[in-house]
Structure 1
Amino acid sequence: MQDAPEAISALITSTANSPIGTFPSDSSPVVPAASAETVPVSYRTIANAYRNYTRQSLDQTRSFFEKLGGVRSLGKAFELQTEFAKQAYEGFVAESQKIRELHSELATQRLKIWKVL
């Protein structure tokens, strides 16, 4: 069972492996959170989820500024910024929900220990 944190991390990072320059809506579908219930959640799993989201967010921001540097019109810059803000918000909401579900599962696992006692 040593691979449990890595298995959950792989589920969480399904969108993190998208090519640089793409946004979350451009990547493959997100794996449902119900599959995470089959593997125990640990503090490391949650930390990995935060790390992966941070890495993904930084990559998206870097990509945005690269694209913004190539824009020649103010209208296109506003359009690009609006698209980035919308996709960053959607990604934040989705990742926050995943992390919240991981916290909930960890709490449920911890409370099961008290029920046994």
Structure 2
Amino acid sequence: MLNNFDDIQKLNKDNMDLVMQSFGSMTKGVQAIVSEVADYQKKSFEEGSSAVEKFTSAKSLDKAFEVQSEFVKTAYESYVGELTKLGEMVGDLAREAYKPYESAFSKVAK
């Protein structure tokens, strides 16, 4: 009976270690994503402010349309690039959070 209790304790400790490793990976990944989003928001705000300044200082309607068109184009490209980057970061986060469980699942599968 004592051997079984020791085995259960060891299994519980091992499982808790796996959970903590996974949680640590998730915490790092989420922090990186939050930092990336904050940087993108700051950059986007600065670019938007610059575009508004250029738009309001345009001397002609053609120049205003040109400024606005260029801003929309760059904002769209930046947005798509950022979404791609965030998608990759979320995928990396999922892979890193799963890594500690790979060995445990392979033991069960045997």
Same fold (TM > 0.5):
yes
- Structural RMSD (CA): 1.2
1:96 pairs with one of 80, 83, 103: 83
Matched with 1:75 is 62
Which one has the bigger helix percentage?
2
Aligned to 2:58, the other structure's residue is in SS state coil
Q: Identity over aligned residues, as a percent?
A: 33
Unaligned runs of 5+ in 1: 1-39
Equivalent pairs, count: 78
Shift of 1:116: 2.1
Q: CA offsets per residue over residues 19-44 of structure 1, 9 Å max, x none?
A: xxxxxxxxxxxxxxxxxxxxx75210
Residue identity in the other structure for 1:91: S
TM-score (norm. length: structure 1): 0.63
* Structure 2: gaps (5+ residues): 1-24, 105-110
Q: Distance in 1 between matches of 2:90 and 2:97?
A: 11
Task: Flag as ranges the 4+ runs of structure 1 deviating above 4 A.
Answer: none
> Which residue, out of 71, 80, 84, partners 2:71?
84
CA distance in 2, matches of 1:103, 1:113: 17
Q: Distance in 1 between matches of 2:103 and 2:84?
A: 29
Q: Which residue does 2:33 correspond to in 1?
A: 46
Deviation at 1:81, TM superposition (A): 0.5
